[in-house]
Structure 1
Amino acid sequence: MRYAIYFTPSAGDPLSKVAANWLGRNVFSGAAVKTPVFRSFEPDEIARLTLEPRRYGFHGTLKAPFRLNEDITERELLSALMHFASSAVPVTIPRLEVAALGHFFALVPDEPLPELDQLANDIVVAFDRFRAPATDAERARRRPETLSISQLRNLEQWGYPYVFEDFRFHMTLTGRVEEKDRLRVARMLDEFFEPVLSEPVEIANLALFVEAEPGAPFEVHSLHPLAVPLSPGSGPGSGTRAGRKESA
């Protein structure tokens, strides 16, 4: 079994519903979702575009998938995640936009957010003690021959190339898109997601995802709300969600 610490909106959030519709799977229930019909795309083309992100589910990576260290239990991981979440502050993304990241498309913040980068940095460090060392096969899947020096260093130290200076928050929408198809894919995604991109997105929880066995779809195990800062003049019982756990 592998675990990952991601952000995903709550099950009832409009963004979650639209993303599930696009990817063809509900990451909370694991149920298949019928994908829409697009005039310029055949159903099998949409299925190919979404094959890889469908397995991982709609998410933004904060701590990439890892196996637990042999001396660590799931209960200990959950306890640490609840404790961390209860002391972390939510981050608001003013607006997401569709962007091409290399050969794939994703939703990304439309402006730099140092507080989001710092949250990701803190999670990488705080939860690395739970991660079993990467195997040779796991390292090979990251295609080390394509990585920069800093990414190789990250892979060796943290088990994932894209952390710290190499981190960019994104919520993956497609697998590899051929260059000849990128313009029409970009137009389709812009049109499809536009209705839910006008509102800010609050990263108000950390989601523990699980992969039950190699190659299985990732699903939400539990959501862990981040601490809500008390407003000036408010006191105990004023609505803080610190320490609560919402199971999916």
Structure 2
Amino acid sequence: MSTAARLANEAAEWSADARFAVYYAPSRASGWWQAGSEWLGRDVENGLAYAPPQPDTLARSVRELTETPRRYGWHGTLVAPFRLADGVSPGELLDQARRWSHQQRAFVLPVKAATLGDFVALQPATPDGEAGMRALASGALSTLDGLRAKPSAADLARRLVAPLTQRQRSLLVEWGYPYVFDEFRFHMTLSSSLDAADERAALVAWWQQRITQLGPLVVDNAALFVEPAPGQSFVLWQRLSFRNVEVEKQ
């Protein structure tokens, strides 16, 4: 079967309301992909399930603490989930996304574990790293914007109920998501919302130790993730490799 035919067969199984997202996903060969997939309990690329590690400092199970991010899989958002515009096929999205990715240069991203609101996430450890991820996300969004369906009036009304600044409200209306461009903050979610500060602190401490072992992230690819039908778990559909150049350190 040709690649085009295989992609068409995959897409034929998805709902008309399928959503797509461009995420950063560590290389399959990296320790970071295995570590994050095990932590969330599932590998969204090959469908394997894992029993997450269980730090001694946690009273509750990791599986309980990671219920929300498990549905989305191990990733950092570059372009938030969206539906395709009328007349746009998944294949067209893949072609455009690949053209964008082939123009990107790989780089190394030092990271840290931190609390972000009431959840725990990996974040860039340096201002240069934050700026690099913001530029990457902004370029992907601008490139693919013409392929996404605009939010319906009902969707906008529902999302505008959230406590947003005027700038974020304007971005939501224009780009379908409030946390883009200057409002973008790259992160890779490690937990659901957690009320207990001591629980968040224990997760941060555990992951800081893992970061020491795993080292920085290598940003050498992105990936197209798909939510096949509303409410279903996201899966990694296609990886988007960056240019095959020597990795540039931050």
TM-score bracket relative to the smaller structure? 0.7 to 0.9
Q: Which residue of 2 aligns with 1:135?
A: 152
Matches within 5 A, 1:71-110: 71-93=87-109, 95-110=110-125
| CA displacement, residues 30-78 of structure 1 (integer Å, 9 cap, x when unaligned) | 32211223334355x5333211100001111111000000111111111
For residue 146 of structure 1, give the secondary structure of its aligned residue in structure 2: coil
For residue 161 of structure 1, give the secondary structure of its aligned residue in structure 2: coil
| CA displacement, residues 173-228 of structure 1 (integer Å, 9 cap, x when unaligned) | 112110xx223332234324523445221211110001111111111101111113
Structure 1 pair 193–23 and aligned structure 2 pair: CA distance change class (3 A): farther
Among 86, 104, 107, the alignment partner of 1:70 is 86
Cα distance, 1:230 vs structure 2: 6.8
RMSD: 2.0
Structure 1 pair 105–152 and aligned structure 2 pair: CA distance change class (3 A): same
| Partner AA of 1:26 in structure 2 | D
My pick for the range that moved more, 134-143 or 202-211, is 134-143
For residue 127 of structure 1, give the secondary structure of its aligned residue in structure 2: helix
My pick for the range that moved more, 26-35 or 51-60, is 26-35
| Partner AA of 1:134 in structure 2 | P
How many residue pairs are counted as aligned between the two chains? 227
Distance 2:219 2:56 in 1: 34
Cα distance, 1:144 vs structure 2: 3.5
Cα distance, 1:141 vs structure 2: 5.2
Moved over 4 A (4+): none
**Residues 103 and 242 in structure 2, CA contact (< 8 A), matched pair in contact too:** yes
Q: Which residue of 1 aligns with 2:176?
A: 159
Q: Which residue of 1 aligns with 2:31?
A: 14
Structure-2-length-normalised TM-score = 0.84
Unaligned runs of 5+ in 2: 1-17
Q: Which residue of 1 aligns with 2:202?
A: 187
Q: Which residue of 2 aligns with 1:208?
A: 224
Distance 1:182 1:136 in 2: 37
2:160 equivalent to 1:147 = no
Cα distance, 1:140 vs structure 2: 4.8
Q: Which residue of 2 aligns with 1:218?
A: 234
**Residues 115 and 121 in structure 2, CA contact (< 8 A), matched pair in contact too:** yes
| Partner AA of 2:84 in structure 1 | L
Distance 2:166 2:222 in 1: 30
**Residues 120 and 191 in structure 2, CA contact (< 8 A), matched pair in contact too:** yes
Among 136, 142, 153, the alignment partner of 1:125 is 142
**Residues 104 and 177 in structure 1, CA contact (< 8 A), matched pair in contact too:** yes
Q: Which residue of 2 aligns with 1:57?
A: 73
Percent identity of equivalent pairs? 34
Unaligned runs of 5+ in 1: 232-248
Q: Which residue of 2 aligns with 1:177?
A: 194
Structure 1 pair 13–216 and aligned structure 2 pair: CA distance change class (3 A): same
| Partner AA of 1:63 in structure 2 | V
Distance 1:144 1:124 in 2: 24
Distance 1:87 1:188 in 2: 36
Distance 2:95 2:112 in 1: 34
Structure-1-length-normalised TM-score = 0.84
My pick for the range that moved more, 53-62 or 195-204, is 195-204
